[in-house]
Amino acid sequence: MGPSSMPFRFRAVTLMIRFDGVYRSYSEWPALEDVSFSVEPGEFVVLTGPSGAGKTTILRLIWMGDLPSRGRVEVAGYSSDRMRPADFPALRRKIGVVFQDFKLLPDRTVFDNVALPLQVAGTSTRAVRKRVFSLLGEMGLSHRRLSMPHELSGGEQQRVAVARAMVAHPSVLLADEPTGNLDPVVSRRVIELLVEINRSGTAVLMATHDPRQIPPRLARLIFIEQGRIKDPSDIQSVEAR
Amino acid sequence: MMGEDFHLPASLQIGLLPEWRNTERISTLAASLSGFEGVSDVVYGEDYLPGLTGLIGTLHKLDLFAGTIILVGVSLVVAGAVRLAVARRSLTVEMMTIMGASDGFVRAPFLFEGLLSGLAGSVGGLLFTYAVSQILSGSIDHSFLPGRWIGGVILLGAATGLAGSWMGLSSSLPSPRK
C-alpha cells in the first residue's frame, strides 16, 4: 500500500516551524521581505529586533492569523499553501500564544480563562477540571482560581496567560513581548517559567526587543530589522545606535 | 301561504364563493343569470368592478413588496446587531480563534442570538397585531390570522433572524488574509 492510498495523511514533523522566502505586505507596505528561518522541536528561539521590525507579523503568520503574500510557512506539519478550512483550528490547537497585554477575558474567572482552550477543543468537563486544577497548582495559582483578571497583579495575569497557553499541551509556545508590561523582578520570573516550559520539551519562540533577558546559552537568537532577518552580530550595532 | 299576496323580492343579493370572486367569472355568471326567466337585470358593479379588482391586485403586490422590504430590513437590523455583538465580544472571538475554535464553535452563540431575536420579534409582532385585532373587533368585522399563518410568521421570523446573524458574522469574524 503506497502512501497515496492510505486512509489518513501523515504529517511528518522534523522542523516545528519553517519560513521559506516569506514576504508579507499590508496595503502595499512590506512588513516582511524574504524571511527564511526554522525552529526545531523543543528549541528555544528568541526573535528580536526594534519595534515595527516584523516580530509580531512573524508570530501571526505562525498561528496563521494571516497567510504569507509570497513564500511558504510550515508549522507542525501544516503548510500555508495547502491549508484547508478545517486545518486552521487543528493547527492552532498545537500552538499556545502569550501576549504582552495578557488578553485575559475580563468577564471570566482565572479558572475559566485557563480552561478555554480545552473547552474550545471539546475536552470533557471532568478532564478540563482535572487539567486546569493541576496546572494552576503547578503555577502557584490555585488560590486565585476564582479571581477575576482585574483582581490580579500584572505578574499573576501573565502567569495565568502562560497557563492558558500551556493547558492544551501545545507543541510550540509563542510569546509576544511577554514581559513588556512587567517590572524586572516579575519579568525574570516569567522568563524562568518559559525556560522551564521549554525544558519540558515544548518549542518556545519569544519575540522581544530586549534579547538580554535570556542567557545566550539557553536560546538561539534571530535578529530582524525592517522586515528582514539580519546577522545576530548586527544587534550590537543597533544597540550602539 | 303562497297566495296572490306572495311576491318575490324586487331583487336578490347573491353571495359568491371566494373562488368565484373575479371579474371574469362574475361577468360569466351575470350573463347566465340574465338568461333566467323573470330576471330583468343583473347588477354587479360592472362599471367599477374591473378597477376595484385591479386596485385589490395592486394592494396585494404592495403587501408582498412591503413584506419583502420588512424581511430584508429585519435581516439587516439583526445583521447589524450581531456585528455589534461580535465587536463587543471581539476579544473573546479573537482568543477563541487563536486557540483553535472551529468556525461553528465561534458562530453558534451568535446564530442562536439571531434566531432568538427573530423569534422574539415575530412573536412580539403577532401579540401586537392580536391586541389591535381585539381592539378593533367591536367596530370592524374580521378574524385574526389562521393558525397556519401564525406558525408561518413565527418560522419566518426565526429564519430571518438566523439569516441576518449569518450575514453579520460573514463580514465581522476574523479569517486569515493573504
The mean per-residue pLDDT over the stretch A204-210 comes to 93
CA B115 vs CA A22, B89, B156, B172: distances in Å: 43, 18, 10, 18
Minimal Cα–Cα distance from A93 to chain B, Å? 5
Burial zone of A118 (CB within 10 Å; 0-12 exposed, 13-18 middle, 19+ buried): buried
User: Do B67 and B117 fall into the same domain?
Assistant: yes
Contacts of A97 in chain B (CB under 8 A): 98
Least confident of A13-27, A225-239, B73-87: A225-239
pLDDT surpassing 50 at residue B126: yes
ipTM of the complex: 0.84
User: Do B18 and B72 fall into the same domain?
Assistant: no
Residue B101, in any domain of the structure: yes
Of A67, A68, A92, the CB nearest to B100: A92
Contacts of A32 in chain B (CB under 8 A): none
Residue A222's pLDDT band, with cuts at 50, 70 and 90, is: very high
User: Do B78 and B161 fall into the same domain?
Assistant: yes
Cα–chain-centroid distance for residue A66?
A: 15
Residue B1, in any domain of the structure: no
Residue B69, in any domain of the structure: yes
User: CB under 8 Å to A83, separation ≥6 — which residues?
Assistant: A64, A67, A91, B176
Residue B54, in any domain of the structure: no
Calculate what percentage of chain A has a pLDDT beyond 90: 73
pTM of the predicted model as reported, rounded to 2 decimal places? 0.76
- Residue A163: all three cell numbers together: 497557563
Please state the length of chain B.
Answer: 178
Q: Residue A40 and residue A45: Cα distance in Å, rounded?
A: 9
How many beta-carbon pairs under 8 angstroms link A with B? 54
Of A89, A95, A105, the CB nearest to B102: A89
Residues B102-124 have pLDDT tens digits of 989 999 999 999 899 889 988 99
User: Do B83 and B19 fall into the same domain?
Assistant: no
User: Do B40 and B69 fall into the same domain?
Assistant: no
Residue linked to cell 499573576? A156
User: Do B103 and B36 fall into the same domain?
Assistant: no
Stronger pLDDT, B178 or B53, i.e. the higher one: B53
Q: Residue A67 and residue B99: Cα distance in Å, rounded?
A: 17
Long-range contacts of B4-11 (CB under 8 A, 24+ apart): B8/B38
Stronger pLDDT, A236 or B174, i.e. the higher one: B174
Calculate what percentage of chain B has a pLDDT beyond 70: 94
Tell me the residues of A at the B interface, defined by beta carbons under 8 Å apart.
63-69, 83, 85-86, 88-95, 97, 103, 105-106, 116-117, 120-121, 168
Q: Do B99 and A92 touch (CB under 8 A)?
A: yes
Please give the pLDDT value at position A203. Answer: 95
pLDDT surpassing 80 at residue B177: no
Please state the length of chain A.
Answer: 241
User: Do B27 and B109 fall into the same domain?
Assistant: no
Residue B156, in any domain of the structure: yes
User: Do B161 and B126 fall into the same domain?
Assistant: yes
Please give the pLDDT value at position A3. Answer: 46
pLDDT surpassing 70 at residue A11: no
The mean per-residue pLDDT over the stretch A103-115 comes to 96
pLDDT surpassing 90 at residue A47: yes
Residue B122, in any domain of the structure: yes
CB count in 10 Å sphere of residue A135:
18
User: Do B107 and B36 fall into the same domain?
Assistant: no
User: Do B81 and B22 fall into the same domain?
Assistant: no
**Chain B nearest-CA residue for A81:** B178
Tell me the residues of B at the A interface, defined by beta carbons under 8 Å apart.
91-92, 94-103, 105, 174, 176-178
User: Do B37 and B83 fall into the same domain?
Assistant: no
Residues A139-184 have pLDDT tens digits of 889 999 999 999 999 999 999 999 999 999 999 999 999 988 888 8
- Residue A78: all three cell numbers together: 501544516
Please give the pLDDT value at position A1. Answer: 44
User: Do B142 and B112 fall into the same domain?
Assistant: yes
Instruction: Please give the mean pLDDT across all residues of chain A.
Output: 89
Stronger pLDDT, A6 or A66, i.e. the higher one: A66
Q: A168 near A96, Cβ under 8 Å? A: yes
Minimal Cα–Cα distance from B166 to chain A, Å? 18
Residue B93, in any domain of the structure: yes
Residues A67-98 have pLDDT tens digits of 999 999 999 999 999 999 999 999 999 999 99
pLDDT surpassing 80 at residue A111: yes
Contacts of B174 in chain A (CB under 8 A): 65
* Helix A154-166 and helix A110-120, axial crossing angle in degrees, nearest 10: 20
Please give the pLDDT value at position A6. Answer: 57
Number of independent structural domains in chain B: 2
B145: containing domain: 60-172
Residue B40, in any domain of the structure: yes
